Amino acid sequence: MATVVMEQIGRLFINAQQLRQIPQLLESAFPTLPCTVKISDVPRVFRERHILTGYRQTDQSWRYYFLTLFQRHNETLNVWTHLLAALIILVKCQEISETVDFLRDPHAQPLFIVLLAAFTYLSFSALAHLLSSKSELSYYTFYFLDYVGVSVYQYGSALAHYYYAIEKEWHSSVQGFFLHTAAFLAWLTCFGCCYGKYARHDLPKFAHKLLQVVPSALAYCLDISPVVHRIYSCYWEGCSDPIVSYHVYHVIFFLISAYFFCCPHPESLLPGKCDFFGQGHQIFHVLVVVCTLMQIEALRTDFTERRPLYERLHGDIAHDAVALFIFTTCCCALTAFYVRNRVRASLYEKKE
């Protein structure tokens, strides 16, 4: 009996020793990260207007930047807002796939495309804000990837709005050019954003903003036009469609988010006070996430309830739309790759 008791005590002692080693194991697995630095301690390319502290050190290991996911710095909220939203989109996709056959139902393919495009832009954005601080080349590479995601989402939204939300009258007016123009404007957005980012220190501030904002604004005006026409028609005739309210909120949240994207408020009014929380770009991220979730919910319901209308309007156009989506994605990716090579060559010349 005494032997058994001693064995149990010995096991408890060993377990206690192992428990005492857990903090050391965690410390070795998650080492203490270097402190964030001030704006004067990072190269010019990483500096954001009115953000004075909270920058991460450059030229660290990739492991360091992945671990900064759990560190407080001036990009933390930007990473987590879009990372969590991307996971929500995955959950929604899984939920929808239980009742929708994305592979065999051609009319479900635009819905799958907009879900894929939403996940792409959210995850690429999270990667850009998480990993871009490693080096100048990494900065441009990941933000170009972010712009590819934005452009893909632009076309995905245009396709879904055209397919599910459009009314017969607007369809007859735009069917000859809508999708092809949306694809071109999505590519133009990618090119404008990439080149604007690449040349932003050599361009006046207004020119840099024009390159990034004007193509996106043109694309949005076209992409959202089926929704705006539907909202107008609904309220003109005495609106009784509950889904239209989702589209209304979707538009409102996007327009408010566009303001915070273009104007660095409130940090411009309170320099150094919004370095970690409260930046205009963080507000933009939150509003865009709400906008996207509203859009997905509206399109999901339209897919279910408006099927007789869009089947009659579109026929088998979904197959052509999928091909154009792939083509647009490839064009945007190649454009980003080309501008990245220009950046790499420029950085190499600078070192020489």
Q: Concatenate the DSSP letters of all residues of 123-143 into one string.
A: HHHHHHHHHTTS-HHHHHHHH
Long-range CB pairs of 238-242 (<8 Å, 24+ gap) are: none
d(CA 19, CA 7): 18
d(CA 244, CA 247): 5
Please write the tens of the pLDDT for every residue from 163-222: 999 999 999 999 989 999 999 999 999 999 999 888 876 777 677 677 888 999 999 999
Residues with Cβ within 8 Å of 113's Cβ and at least 6 positions away in sequence, in order, are 156, 159, 160, 321, 322, 325
- The reported pLDDT for the residue numbered 5 is 47
* Closest listed residue to residue 169, CA positions, set 251, 234, 242, 241: 234
Over residues 240-260, mean pLDDT: 91
Say if residue 294's pLDDT is above 60: yes
d(CA 60, CA 71): 15
- The reported pLDDT for the residue numbered 211 is 80
Please write the tens of the pLDDT for every residue from 101-148: 998 888 999 999 999 999 999 999 999 999 999 999 999 999 999 999
Say if residue 297's pLDDT is above 50: yes
Q: Which residue has the higher pLDDT, 24 or 302?
A: 302
Please write the tens of the pLDDT for every residue from 79-109: 999 999 999 999 999 999 999 999 888 899 9
- The reported pLDDT for the residue numbered 11 is 56
Task: Enter the DSSP assignment of 59.
Answer: S
Confirm whether residue 265 is marked as ligand binding.
Answer: no
**What percent of the chain has pLDDT above 90?**
70
**pTM for this one?**
0.89
- The reported pLDDT for the residue numbered 282 is 97
* Closest listed residue to residue 184, CA positions, set 140, 212, 134, 223: 223
Q: Give me the residues paired with residue 114 across strands.
A: none
Query: Which amino acid is it at 172?
Result: S
- The reported pLDDT for the residue numbered 27 is 44
Confirm whether residue 129 is marked as ligand binding.
Answer: yes
Q: How far is CA 128 from CA 103, 132, 146, in A?
A: 31, 5, 6
8 Å CB contact between 317 and 132: no
8 Å CB contact between 200 and 46: no
Confirm whether residue 82 is marked as ligand binding.
Answer: no
Dihedral of CA atoms 160, 130, 148, 195 in degrees, nearest 10, equals 140
Q: Which two tokens stand for residue 13?
A: 């002692």
Q: How many residues does the chain have?
A: 352
Indicate the range of 6-20, 43-57, 94-108, 312-326 predicted with least confidence. 6-20
- The reported pLDDT for the residue numbered 255 is 95
Q: For 37, phi and psi rounded to 5 degrees?
A: -125, 170
- The reported pLDDT for the residue numbered 35 is 87
Indicate the range of 22-26, 222-226, 263-267 predicted with least confidence. 22-26
Residues with Cβ within 8 Å of 277's Cβ and at least 6 positions away in sequence, in order, are 77
- The reported pLDDT for the residue numbered 336 is 97
